[in-house]
Structure 1
Amino acid sequence: MSIKKLDWDSDFFNLEIGEVNLEKDNCVIDADAYDLVYVKSKNDSQLDIKGYQNTFTDQTLIYIKDLEKKENEIEIENIFPFDENKFPIEKLYELAYVGGSFSRFNLDTKFDKEKFKKLYRTWIDNSLNGKNADELLVYEENGELMGFVTYKIDNDIATYYLLAVLPQYQGKKIGIKLFEYVAQKMRNLNVKKLMIPTQRSNVGACYIYEKLGYTILEKKYIKHYWKI
């Protein structure tokens, strides 16, 4: 089975990185040209790629929810577009590391932690400049930045890409307030659906999404195979 080279990942991590979308078990994969291969599949397929070690396995979930019209919108305070004149961008970076704690680039210990942090700093920068997000919203109280969310609209679907709340403020429903604020905004823009990608290992987040009425649209396993 052929491997597709991932140019962006390869350049960013300074490695030869490829990806395979597996459609059946017992496939022969020739991976010699790669330092790392991502293997994606619908089933939890067990592969033995000669000369490679499986260091990470998780299940990517995509949650979806239909947006229903609400006659009376809820007033939600303390949420604003990020203003670099008010908060240093380093505050956002620290929040992004929290939000990325269940990322495969953090959970797979073969990845360098500094590279993980650089990856999330890059994601924040590209969210603020419009490449990765239409807007980055922050939640603040008494001059303290407590959480943020990013989203991007594609046709009539809005996708949340990053959400983070500082650990000391978790449990105050800040994440839910950010979600509901965006949902109300999307209704006014006639967006029909909301999507959230996450990992199965992020059990707490999955529990909250399901309580909020999101259902699973897609499940896919992802494994990392590093050259030994």
Structure 2
Amino acid sequence: MLKHLDWDTKFFGRTIGELVAPENSYEVRGYDLIYVKTEADSVDIKGFTNKYKEKKLVFFKKLQAKHEGVNNIRPIISKEYLQELYLIAFESGKHSRFKMDSNLNIFFEPLYREWVDKSFSRSIADDVLGYFSGDKLAGMVTYRSSADAATIGLIGVLPQYQGQGIGKQLLAYVENELLQKRIYKLYIPTQESNSAACNFYICQGYSVAEKINIMHYYKNDTI
């Protein structure tokens, strides 16, 4: 079924829809761009051309034991850190399809700023947590929870602070928070092309729960 994406249509200034697990051949009208999410390697959409493809991985861990020695992390509630949060978000999203797709990458930074702003307002995140090196914000993580599970939104560390175990501390802090709330399932989406992130999650005890191809099909006369 084709779903119209109101927010994407408004933000990107083109009519955008989404197809999840479509048939091998599909026909649509009135759209400029279709996001296709499928296990298949490709689909045929008449009058459209596939211009971008990535494999999305969703990592999963069943939380059991709390972590000790998690320090230097606190919720961010002051707007004085917004510029640093934007930079961390850009680093977090450097493998994002909205950066890698050359037809959309001019929207990458505005999109991630919006993501940070909505997370900061807590409209799409339970919390925004920052790791501080002295008085400097070095990394951050956001997450959102439901009744029995949670999903990481953004997680990243500024380049000059990478390799110091900060990402591990941020993830451990979120796990501790969830365990305190009696939430025992945590999901983390990323891209297969982000090998550093994939290896990091595996080292933290996560496994791949889902693999799906995401493709961008553009109407031929709009490319």
Shared fold, TM over 0.5: yes
Distance in structure 2 (CA, Å) of the matches to 1:158 and 1:21: 22
Query: Structure 2 matches for 1:1-228, cutoff 5 A?
Result: 2-25=1-24, 27=25, 29-44=26-41, 46-70=42-66, 73-84=67-78, 87-113=80-106, 115-228=107-220
Structure 1 residue runs of 5 or longer lacking an equivalent are none
Contact 1:31/1:37, CA 8 A, preserved across alignment: no
Structure 2 residue runs of 5 or longer lacking an equivalent are none
User: 1:134-190: CA deviations, max 9, x gaps?
Assistant: 000001112111110001111121211100111111111111110011111211221
Distance in structure 1 (CA, Å) of the matches to 2:81 and 2:201: 30
* SS class of match (1:118): helix
Distance in structure 2 (CA, Å) of the matches to 1:16 and 1:24: 21
Q: How many residues align?
A: 220
The sequence identity of aligned pairs, in percent, is 40
In the TM superposition, residue 23 of structure 1 has moved relative to its aligned partner by 4.2
Distance in structure 2 (CA, Å) of the matches to 1:189 and 1:9: 33
